[in-house]
Structure formats: structure tokens, C-alpha cells
Chain A
């Protein structure tokens, strides 16, 4: 269970403090939670605060009852938090197998690494020895990123806009992976997304706009307001989910 208590996040801009998140309070215990909202609303910042890549200006973060606010990225990862990057990172020399092995935290064999790749719809034998470098497409990298999260199989997995940077065709294939993801991962999934098809499989939807939680509840209550165009959600988002 993840608890965010009175989270503020400010950045210095042109010599002035600018608030990105304002008094965000959330308790996540459902299996599949989606955070949505307009661009610039603070969603990715929130995801990075949970992973420990950023540190909140105010407030506390509790994970399974333990205060993890002062823990670094490594310590949080070891406690059981996984984070899938919006733009997966490329590495010269590290292969797909290397990355999946590092993610699993033990010396897994080729068949097990291949099994994770198959789960995300990649033909394992074509990819297992490839380097995670510029030769891979955005869609392939996203799938490999998801495979590393599966290999970790932690109690919380945070995905930062998995649809970003890939074409619609690749995304519609990817959605099937997410539909079955909670069966593969033994824990909660927190996913930041604009996509209606992702929101459609969430147990709960949180709408974050201008750094505040403006709507939060079960999918059946929140999704219709988004599709109808909620007053606090900008038109850009309405276009995306329509």
C-alpha cells in the first residue's frame, strides 16, 4: 500500500518558486490505478516522487506503512517499487538479456528471460541478445521496459505514460499486454495515461490537474466525467480520451 501525505513539490523558475504539486493526498491499495489529467498537471512529477528520482518539498511518502520519504532510488527499488520510464533509456553494450537479468536480481537463464519477452509480444530469440541501443524502435523499447518490470515482480509498479512516443498501431498491440499485466505482476499497478483504453481497465481513476487531485474514484464514476469533458480538465485531454 502506498500513501502520499500532503505532498508539495516546488521548483525554482526565474528566481521564483513555482508549485508543481499542491497538497496531494492519496492512498493506493487497488490492483490497477490510473492517473490522468492534462499535460503539465504534475503526473510524471508524482511518479518520479514515488520512485525517489525526485524528493518532495513537503509531505511524506509511506510504503506498506514505512516512511520512505528519505530513501533513495535504490533503496525504494529494493523495498518493492518499480518504475517504467516514459522514454526508456538506451544502453550501448547492455543486451536485452542483461537488462532483464539485472531487473530480476538473480542469474536467470535464457528460457526465463525469453518468457518475459514473449509476455510483452516480442519474439524472444530475435531480441534476447540485442543491445538496448538506438537500433531498437520506440515500441520495442517500451515492450522491453515492461518486460523488466515483469521480471522484477514487485508489490508496486509505476508506469509513466507507456503510450508516449509510440504510434497508435504499436499502442493498440501494447494495450493487450496491460490488460493481462496485473495477472503477471503480484501487486499494484499505478499507471499514468491519457488513453481511454488504459483508463477502461483501471479499477480506479485519479485526475490530476494543475498540481491538485480534482477527481478520484472508481472507474465507473470518473470515466464518464472525463469523456463528457469535466470542467477542470483541459480540452486537449478531452480530445485524447474521446
Chain B
């Protein structure tokens, strides 16, 4: 991999060198590196672009990194990655996509990730999206995440898109079994003329399952964001979604809740707060000696931390 790709890798996966544990690094549509462990296998799909990640039952305290980097303008790819996580696992999965586009053509990566989370397993899934490059071409990412959670399983999904992605439509669909918990934390910052749309659908099918979908976002410049949280309570369950957004300049944010209780014992809550930075917050930090611009940066950084 070249220096640009290494720098992208650091942005999306926090990797300075080859990670420990299992990994699969994809650069410009090709496999750049792969490692498997005694408990985690990674297999190239025979029929389409992508990989299967197979985590054996009982695998604990292990991690899988599957970053993707693109530095070739005009490259469009759709990749299917399927995770099969056995029972009683406790693993961390780090995915992410970095695009460096210096050309005039668009560069696009669509990752379709499917998770089968086994009974009583815990998964932490971290996904970062980052774009850069001074070309005319747009950086486009359309990730789809499909999650199927067995009884008593727990998944925490953290997605971050802070910079440089011109257009993104993030689709997440999840089905939860009895006693399963899904926590989704999304952080988005858009600028320029960017568009970011998040579309979450969570089916709370099992007795006693629980989801919390939390979005914190900042829309600057003339960017636009749409947050759609669709939660279906199909059993005695608890669902909560929350959109907290700061708008700056001419930024626009829409929060669209759709909570449906199909069961008498389903408890569903949606909260949304959208507004500019409160004047008193700026003044407070200015009384500590910060300029208005420095105060604004601190507030935004803290908000998205």
C-alpha cells in the first residue's frame, strides 16, 4: 500500500501498522492483506465481491479489522461482508472506509454488512467513514447494515462520519430476538453541499428485547441531513430513538420518527432536538477567554466526541 492508502487506513481504523488479531484490508478493490486466527476465519466469497467472517462459538476478547481504502478516482464497488458470530462470543469488529479522490470522476463504495449474532454473544462494531482529496469527483458511500440477533445477544454499533463524504445513504435493518439488546450510536458532521441520510429500521420481535438508537450530528455550510428512525415493537420490549443535532450556517436537519407499537406491552419513545448552538454556551466559553470561533469549535468537538 502507498502513503495515501496508509493515511486513509489510519483515519478509518486507527491503524498505524498491521493490527493484531484477524484482519482483511481492501485497497482499490483488491485484497491487500489478510490474517486469520485459530477462532476467526475469513473466506473470500466465491460468487460475488466480499468476504465471510466466521467467528467460532466461545471466542472472547478478540478483534477483527476489515478496513477499505480507495484512492482511485472513478472506482465504483459494492462489497458484501457477512459476519457469522457463534454463541457466547465477545468480540470487537472494526470496519471503515476511507476515500481519497483527486480525480474528476466520482469514487463510490457500498458496503453491505450482514451480522448473524449468536445466542448470548456480545459484539462491539465500530465503523468510520472518511473522505478527502481535492478533485472534482465526489466521494460517495452507501453502507447497508443488516443485523439478526439471537436470544440474549448484545450489540453496540458506533458509526462515525466526520469529514469529506459528499453523499451517503446509510441503511440499517435489525431484528432482535428475546432479551437481545442493540445500541446504535451515530455521529455525523457534514459540510459544504454534502448530503447524509440515515435510515434505521429495528424490529423488536423477542420478549424483553431493547434498542436505543442515538444520533448526534452537526450540519454546517449548505449541507443536509435526514435521520429516519423506524422502530417496530412487536413484543413486550423497549425502544428509544434520539436525534440531537446542531445546525450552523445554512445547514438543514430533518428528524423523522416512526415508532409503531404492535404489542400492548411495547414501550417506544422518540426524542429529537435540533437547533443552533445556544448563545449562552458561546458566552460562557468566551468568559473563559476563548474567541467566538474557538468556543464554537469546542462545543462542536465536545458534542461529537
State whether A92 and B302 are in contact (beta carbons under 8 Å apart), knowing that A74-B291, A74-B292 are contacts in the complex. Answer: yes
Which residue of A is nearest B278, CB measured? A89
A152 interfacial by beta-carbon distance below 8 Å: yes
Please, which residues of chain A bring their CB within 8 A of the CB of B284? 85, 88-89
How many residues of chain A have a CB within 8 Å of chain B?
A: 24
Contact A77 B289 (CB under 8 A): yes
A224 interfacial by beta-carbon distance below 8 Å: no
A77 CB contact (under 8 Å) in B244, B287, B292, B302: B287
Please, which residues of chain B bring their CB within 8 A of the CB of A72? 286
- By secondary structure, the B interface counts as helix
Q: How large is the interface on B (under 10, 10 to 19, 20 to 34, 35 or more residues)?
A: 20 to 34
State whether A102 and B288 are in contact (beta carbons under 8 Å apart), knowing that A89-B278, A89-B280, A94-B298 are contacts in the complex. Answer: yes
A176 CB, min distance to chain B CBs, angstroms: 25
A51 interfacial by beta-carbon distance below 8 Å: yes
B285 CB contact (under 8 Å) in A78, A82, A102, A152: A102
B283 interfacial by beta-carbon distance below 8 Å: yes
Query: 3 shortest A-B CB distances, which residue pairs?
Result: A93-B302, A94-B302, A73-B286
A53 interfacial by beta-carbon distance below 8 Å: yes
State whether A78 and B244 are in contact (beta carbons under 8 Å apart), knowing that A89-B281, A91-B299, A93-B304 are contacts in the complex. Answer: no
Please, which residues of chain A bring their CB within 8 A of the CB of B244? 92
Q: How far is the CA of A197 from the CA of B285 in the complex (A)?
A: 30
State whether A51 and B287 are in contact (beta carbons under 8 Å apart), knowing that A74-B292, A89-B280, A92-B244 are contacts in the complex. Answer: yes
Please, which residues of chain A bring their CB within 8 A of the CB of B305? 93
Which residue of B is nearest A95, CB measured? B302
A67 CB, min distance to chain B CBs, angstroms: 20
Please, which residues of chain B bring their CB within 8 A of the CB of A78? 289
**1/0 per position for A86-104, CB-CB distance to B under 8 A?**
0011011111001100110
A residues 149-197 with Cβ under 8 Å of B?
Answer: 152
Please, which residues of chain B bring their CB within 8 A of the CB of A88? 284
Contact A105 B302 (CB under 8 A): no
A36 interfacial by beta-carbon distance below 8 Å: no
> Which among B280, B285, B303 has the greatest number of chain A C-beta atoms within 10 A?
B285
B15 interfacial by beta-carbon distance below 8 Å: no
Please, which residues of chain B bring their CB within 8 A of the CB of A102? 285, 288, 290, 298
